[in-house]
Amino acid sequence: MLDPDDTVVLYEELAFQDVMPVHWDCLPPEPAAAVGLAERNLQVMQAWDALEDHAVLEKGDENAPLAAEIQRLDRKMTLLLALVGQLLALNRPRPAPVPLRFNARGALWRPLGAAPQAGAHGVLEIYLHECIAQPLRLGGRITAVAATGEVKVRFDPLDDALCAVITKITFRRHRRQIAGRHAPSRVS
C-alpha cells in the first residue's frame, strides 16, 4: 500500500499517507453530535498543522539570528509537548500504528485485528501525533474490505474548514515528497 514514489490518491483526490495509530468504532450516525465533533476535529487538525515543520531557515537572511532563536524555542516546545504526550499515553494507550492513507473524503488502512463489515457505519480515530492527546474522529461508512484485509471508508460530509485544513496539509506533505525526490543527493 505505501509506495513513496507514487502520487497518493484516494477517492480521486490527493491523499495523505503515513503509518499512524488508528481505531475503528462501529457506531450508528448521530447528527446531533456532529457539530461538537467538527469543532474538536478542527482544533486537532490545527494543532497538528502547528506542529508540522514548515519553515526553512534561508542562509543570508537578515533575520537569521531571530529565526534561529525561534527555531530553538520551537524545538524545546516540541520536546515538551512530546513528553506531555508520552505521559498522557500512559493513561490512555493508543492503538498500534498501521499504514494509512486518508484525505477529506475517506481513508484506507489495514487493521491489525478483525476488519469491520462493508456497509458498517462508525467512527475512524486517527492519532496524528504523539503530542496531541485527542485523535481526529471522522464518521463514515465502510465501502470496501479487500481480500488483503485493507478497509476503505468514505467519510460523512465534513465541515468546510476541516476539509480545507486536511487538504492543505495533504498538499504540503505531497509537495515536500516531490521536492525530496528531486533534491540533489549529497556526496560525502
Q: What is the pLDDT of residues 73-132, one digit of tens each?
A: 877 776 777 677 667 666 778 899 999 999 999 999 999 988 999 999 999 999 988 778
Mean pLDDT of all residues belonging to the chain: 82
Asked if the structure places residue 175 within a domain, the reply is yes
Q: Based on the structure, what is the number of domains in the chain?
A: 1
Q: How far apart are CA 110 and CA 146, in angstroms?
A: 9
pLDDT of the residue at 186: 54
pTM above 0.85, yes or no: no
Asked if the structure places residue 168 within a domain, the reply is yes
Asked if the structure places residue 164 within a domain, the reply is yes
26-81: per-residue pLDDT in tens? 887 676 666 678 888 888 888 888 777 654 444 455 667 788 888 778 777 767 77
Residue 73 or 147, more confident? 147
126, 100 Cβ separation under 8 angstroms: yes
C-alpha neighbours within 13 Å on the C-beta side of residue 119: 0
Where are any strands of DSSP class E within the chain? 9-10, 13-14, 16-26, 97-102, 106-109, 121-126, 136-145, 151-155
Asked if the structure places residue 3 within a domain, the reply is no
User: Which residue segment(s) compose the domain that 55 sits in?
Assistant: 9-182
pLDDT of the residue at 89: 65
Asked if the structure places residue 4 within a domain, the reply is no
For residue 32, give the DSSP letter.
G
Asked if the structure places residue 86 within a domain, the reply is yes
Asked if the structure places residue 1 within a domain, the reply is no
Asked if the structure places residue 188 within a domain, the reply is no
